[in-house]
Amino acid sequence: MATRRRSVEVFSLSFLDCVCCAFGAVILFYTLISAQSGMERARSTDALATRVSRLEDELRAGRENLAALRNTVATTDTETANAASRAREIIAALKAQALQKSAYDETSLARRERIEKLTADVKALEEGVRRLEGGAVDRGPPGQEIQAFRKVGGDRRYITGIKMHGKRVLILLDRSASMLHQDLGSVLALRNSNDLNKRAALKWRHAVDTANWLLTQLLPDARFQVYAFNTKAQPVLASSGGTWQDANDPRIRARTVEALNTLVAQDGTSLINAFAASKNLSPLPDQIILITDGLPTQGESPGSRRTVDADARAALFDGAIGELPDGVPLDIVLLPMKGDLAAARRFWELADTTHGTLLMPSRDWP
C-alpha cells in the first residue's frame, strides 16, 4: 500500500506565535518609549510654565516700575521748569539791582560833589548875609509852605518858575512803565522785575517826590486832587474820585502821600484819558500840573500795533490836547527819557499856549 505524503505549511502555529510575540514586544517597546517621552514632556512643560509665571511676575513688576519712573520723570520735568523760571526771575532781578546800583553810585558821586559846592556857597552866602543884615532884628516873612517837604535836612529851595496860584489844583502823575528809567533797555529790565524794585527805581522816586513837593506848596485855602495815569486815569485816593480835597487838612495830605508811595509804574501812556479825567471834576480845575517823561504811546484804548513810531506818538499827543479844559493853565514837569527828542518842544509849545510853565528838573530836585 502506498504511503501518503504530508504537505508542508510555511506558516505554522509556532511561527505565528513568534511573529505575534515580536509585534507585541515592539508595541510594548514603543508604549514604554511613548510613556517615557510623555513624562519628559510633562516635566518640561511644568518647568516652562514655572518660568513663564516667573517672567509674567517680572513683567508686572517692570510695568509698575516703569509707571513710577514715568511719574518721577514728569515730576522732575515740572520741577526743572519751575527752577528755570525762578532762575530767570532771579537773573532779571539781579540785572535790575545792578542797574540801580550803578545809578545809585553815579547819583551819590554827583550829590557829594554838589554838596561840597553848596557847602562852599552857603558859607559865602552866610558871610554876605551877616554883612548885609548888620545885626538887624526884623526878618522878612517866610515863604509859602503848608508843610515841610523834608523833615530833617535838605531844606533847599530852587527857582523853578512854577507858581502854585490855583485854588483848585489838579496834579496828573504819569505812572507808565517808562517812568522807571530814562534808558529804554533799563525800562525793559525793570518792567519784568517785582513791584518792590519798580517802586525803588530812581526815576519813579523822583516823580513821586515831585508830586509830594507840589502838595507842600499849595495855598492854605486851596483844594487839590491827584490823578495817576497810564492806560487809564484814576484818583490816587480811590474814594475821592470827582471831588476836591482840602489842602489845609494834614490827614488828607498824609493819606495822599501814603497812596503815592504804593503806586507801581507799569503799562503804556494814554495822555488823552488823563486830560479827559480833568473834565470830570466839578468845578473844573483852575491849574493843572502834569508830571510825565514823553509823548503818549496810545489813545483812549490800546491800538492794534505792538510798536508806535514817532509820528504816531505825535498824532496821539495832538489828539489829547483837545481834551484839555479851555482856559486852564497847564504846568509841565518833564522828566528825562532818551530817544524822545520831540517831547520837549511839543510840551513847551503846549505849556506856552495854555500860559503855563515847562520845567525839566535836575536829578536832585526837589
C-alpha dist (Å) from residue 321 to 173, 230, 275, 347: 16, 16, 8, 10
Of 293, 295, 341, 284, nearest in space to 321 by CA: 295
* pLDDT exceeds 90 at position 11: no
Q: HSE, CB side, 13 Å, CA atoms: give it for residue 133.
A: 12
Counting Cβ atoms within 10 Å, is residue 329 exposed (0-12), middle (13-18) or buried (19+)?
middle
Pairing status of strand 287-292 against strand 330-334 = parallel
* pLDDT exceeds 50 at position 142: no
* pLDDT exceeds 90 at position 105: no
d(CA 328, CA 355): 8
Give φ, ψ of 61 to 5 degrees.
Answer: -65, -40
Q: How far apart are the first and last CA of the chain?
A: 175
Confidence of residue 366 (pLDDT cuts 50, 70, 90): low
pTM equals 0.59
Least confident of 2-6, 229-233, 317-321: 2-6
